[in-house]
């Protein structure tokens, strides 16, 4: 009996000594769990913030990419429209040139039929332009000679240009080379057309009314000698400065 009591007292003493250790262990486990939970919670918050940040960056990049694509599409569409417009303008221009060529050919034909006296063996003064030169009373001219007939060879001849006007109420006539500093060739030799250009000085008291052009064709194996005369109103062929 005494032995049993002694054993019970030892057990109670051992339990008392174990109780503080158990409490300490439990506290340590609780602290470790709390620290772990806080660390995990903090890590989750950081991860969530990072995920949110990168999600926002991704969405921003996607939006910017969409805008860039829209701008690219718009620019590509604008470029396509411009290219189509240029192509259409080129087509229209070629069409206009073709119509102009056809009208010119028809006009030349009607000239040869309705007014054959305007051409010498098909050669005539097609156009005359006169412009004001850099100095007072100085003019620059360009005469266009052309032919109505289609030839495989060139046509040759001479052209005489005469300035007709008034001085002190009297009609006067000046050959073009009388009013030029540098002689202008009178000869022509062409198959389709030829430009004759040069400068002349208007006399001080001369009022110019007309410009006469006489075309003389030199005879050869394929053409006969012929002469034609054309008159151009000076004010009609004079191009003012605003039109240059």
Asked whether residue 101 is assigned to any structural domain, the reply reads: no
- pLDDT of amino acid 16: 56
Least confident of 92-101, 110-119, 175-184, 210-219: 110-119
pLDDT of residue 105: 62
What is d(CA 77, CA 177) in angstroms, rounded to the nearest whole number? 60
Rounded mean pLDDT, 73-89:
78
Q: Is residue 207 part of a domain?
A: yes
Is residue 152 in a domain?
Answer: yes
Give tens-digit pLDDT for 186-228.
899 988 889 999 999 999 999 999 999 999 998 888 888 888 8
Q: Average pLDDT of the chain?
A: 78
Number of domains in the chain: 1
Q: Is residue 26 in some structural domain?
A: no
Average pLDDT over residues 78-91: 79
Convert the pLDDT of each residue in 36-66 to its tens digit: 666 666 666 666 677 777 777 777 777 887 8
Q: Determine contact, residues 124/149, Cβ cutoff 8 Å.
A: no
57 in a domain, yes or no?
A: no
SS3 readout for the chain? CHHHHHHHHHHHHHHHHHHHHHHHHHHHHHHHHHHHHHHHHHHHHHHHHHHHHHHHHHHHHHHHHHHHHHHHHHHHHHHHHHHHHHHHHHHHHHHHHHHHHHHHHHHHHHHHHHCHHHCECCEEEEEEEEEECCCCCEEEEEEEEEECCCCCCCEEEEEEEEEEEEECCEEEEEEHHHCCCCCCCCEEEECCEEEEEEEEECCCCCEEEEEEEEEEECCCCCCCCEEEEEEEEHHHHEECHHHC
Q: What is the pLDDT of residue 215?
A: 92
Q: Is residue 82 part of a domain?
A: no
| Higher local confidence (pLDDT), 46 or 82 | 82
- For residues 114 and 225, is the Cβ–Cβ distance under 8 A? no
Q: Is the pTM of this model over 0.75?
A: no
- Over 90: is that where the pLDDT of 34 sits? no
The answer to whether position 190 is within a domain reads: yes
State how far the Cα of 89 lies from the Cα of 83, in Å rounded to an integer: 10
Task: Give how far Cα 173 sits from Cα of 89, 131, 209, Å.
Answer: 48, 20, 10
Residue 138, in any domain of the structure: yes
Per-residue pLDDT tens for 143-197?
999 887 666 678 899 999 999 999 998 999 999 999 998 888 889 998 888 999 9
| pLDDT for position 233 | 94
242 vs 228, which has greater pLDDT? 228
Counting other chains too, the contacts that 32-41 makes at CB distance below 8 Å and 24 or more residues apart are none
pLDDT score, position 158: 93
Report pLDDT digits (tens) over 121-136: 678 888 899 998 888 8
Q: What is the pLDDT of residue 207?
A: 94
Per the structure, the complete domain to which residue 205 belongs is given by 120-243
The strand pairing partners of 190, in sequence order, are 155
What pLDDT does 242 receive?
A: 42
Q: What is the CATH number of the domain that holds 142?
A: 2.60.40.1400
């Amino acid at each position: 009996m005494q032995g049993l009591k002694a054993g019970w007292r030892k057990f109670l003493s051992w339990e008392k000594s174990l109780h503080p250790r158990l409490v300490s262990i439990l506290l340590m486990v609780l602290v470790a769990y709390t620290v772990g939970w806080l660390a995990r919670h903090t890590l989750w918050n950081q991860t969530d913030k990072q995920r949110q940040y990168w999600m926002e960056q991704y969405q921003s990049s996607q939006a910017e990419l969409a805008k860039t694509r829209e701008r690219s599409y718009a620019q590509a569409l604008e470029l396509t429209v411009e290219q189509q417009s240029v192509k259409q303008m080129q087509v229209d221009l070629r069409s206009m040139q073709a119509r102009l060529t056809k009208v010119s050919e028809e006009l030349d034909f009607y000239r040869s039929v309705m007014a054959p006296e305007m051409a010498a063996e098909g050669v005539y003064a097609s156009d005359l332009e006169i412009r004001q030169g850099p100095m007072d009373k100085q003019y620059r001219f360009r005469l266009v000679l052309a032919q109505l007939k289609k030839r495989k060879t060139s046509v040759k001849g001479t052209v005489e240009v005469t300035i007709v006007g008034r001085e002190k109420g009297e009609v006067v006539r000046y050959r073009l080379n009388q009013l030029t500093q540098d002689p202008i060739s009178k000869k022509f030799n062409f198959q389709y057309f030829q430009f004759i250009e040069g400068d002349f000085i208007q006399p001080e008291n001369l009022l110019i009314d007309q410009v006469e052009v006489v075309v003389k064709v030199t005879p050869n194996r394929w053409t006969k000698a012929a002469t034609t005369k054309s008159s151009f109103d000076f004010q009609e062929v004079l191009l003012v400065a605003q039109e240059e």
